[in-house]
Copies of this chain bind each other. A is one copy, B any other.
Amino acid sequence: MTKKEIQAYYQKKKILITGGLGFLGSNLAHALTNTGSCVTLLDPLFPEYGGNRFNVSEIEDRVGVILEDIRNEKLMESLVREHEIIFHIAGQTSHIDSLKDPFLDLDINCRGTLILLEAVRKFNPKAKIIYAGTRAQYGKILRSPVSEQDSMQPVDIYGVNKQAGEGYLWVYRDVHGLSCVSLRINNTYGPRHQMKQANYGILNWFIRLAVEGKPIPIYGDGNQLRDYNYVDDVTEAFLLAGAVPATVGEAFNLGSGHPVPFYQMAETIVKIVGKGELKKIPWPEERKKIEVGSYVADFSKFSKAAGWQPEITLEDGIARTVTFYEKYKEHYW
């Protein structure tokens, strides 16, 4: 689909984004309001999570905002009736927190997803659901690049539960005929990401450290490969996943096509920001246990189905991100 066709597809469509005030959700909201669709954002703004009202300040007059949780069943039942396309992005997304409180992760990522699916099944089975999957579903990397049919051995509770959440999608597809797509997102960075803690979104966190002229910790040799996508490319992928019929019922990897060693990502930040410095330190025990090795995604399936290609280079993406936070620092620090 061309950008014009996507625009036409979304125009006047009623869209729900769960986690709509967070990083990915709010960037997607910006892209959607530009197409002229009617967007509702659902977000409980949990203090420790990525939701931030400022993320939608520029489009506040063009989106509906509901400050609530996906686990509010009655609300979900009424919301799904009103929306044709649902981007299900809400979630607990910290690997480490999922180990500290596995029950909360289970409740949000599994029960929350089931609540959404049950509501759609009962009250709007024609709605299309686009699920934010994750590379964490693969866990330990046994083969590189990773393609969609590769084995799933999640190494943390977050990965297990996101995998279960995606599994529910396929059950609701086959048993109840729902239209579902899963995008297994790799490491995404860019504007509108929370900048208060290192617990999710390490690239954004490193930008903060560099801007503050602080040391940037590299665990071990930092040679593990990572596949970083700038958020606009990921937003574009979600738009395509919602619009292109050939994506329905399938899971797709996203990726950059240009994996880089972890330390090189950090070096690039230092170079662009002009501050900060890399500091190699030993792997902390809790991180080492859930480290999966080099991750490189094979995203040819999604390119073929939807014509998607990431366009923003790591250098360009970091530069744009730095510019954004220099301008809006007060709202994120």
Using CB atoms and an 8 Å cutoff, list the residues of chain A in contact with chain B: 99, 102-103, 106, 110-111, 114, 118, 149, 151-157, 159-161, 163-164, 167-168, 170-171, 174-175, 286, 289-290
Contact = CB atoms under 8 A, between A and B. Distances in A.
Contacts of A152: 152
Contact of A103 (B114, B151, B156): B114
A163 B170 CA distance: 14
A146 to B, nearest CB: 14
Given A103-B114, A110-B164, A114-B106, A171 B157 contact: yes
Overall SS of chain A's interface: helix
User: Which has the most chain B C-beta neighbours within 10 Å: A159, A286, A289?
Assistant: A289
Contacts of A114: 102-103, 106, 157
A175 B111 contact: no
Contacts of A170: 153-155
Nearest to A290: B175
Given A103-B114, A106-B114, A164-B160, A171 B151 contact: no
Nearest to A107: B111
Contact of A149 (B151, B155, B157): B151
Given A151-B151, A157-B168, A159-B167, 20 more contacts: A99-B175, A102-B118, A102-B168, A103-B111, A103-B114, A110-B110, A110-B164, A153-B170, A154-B170, A155-B170, A155-B171, A155-B174, A155-B175, A156-B175, A160-B171, A163-B164, A163-B167, A164-B164, A175-B286, A175-B289
A110 B110 CA distance: 9
Contacts of A102: 114, 118, 168
Nearest to A175: B289
A99 B171 contact: yes
A174 B110 contact: no
A107 to B, nearest CB: 8
User: Which has the most chain B C-beta neighbours within 10 Å: A152, A153, A159, A167?
Assistant: A167
A149 B163 CA distance: 16
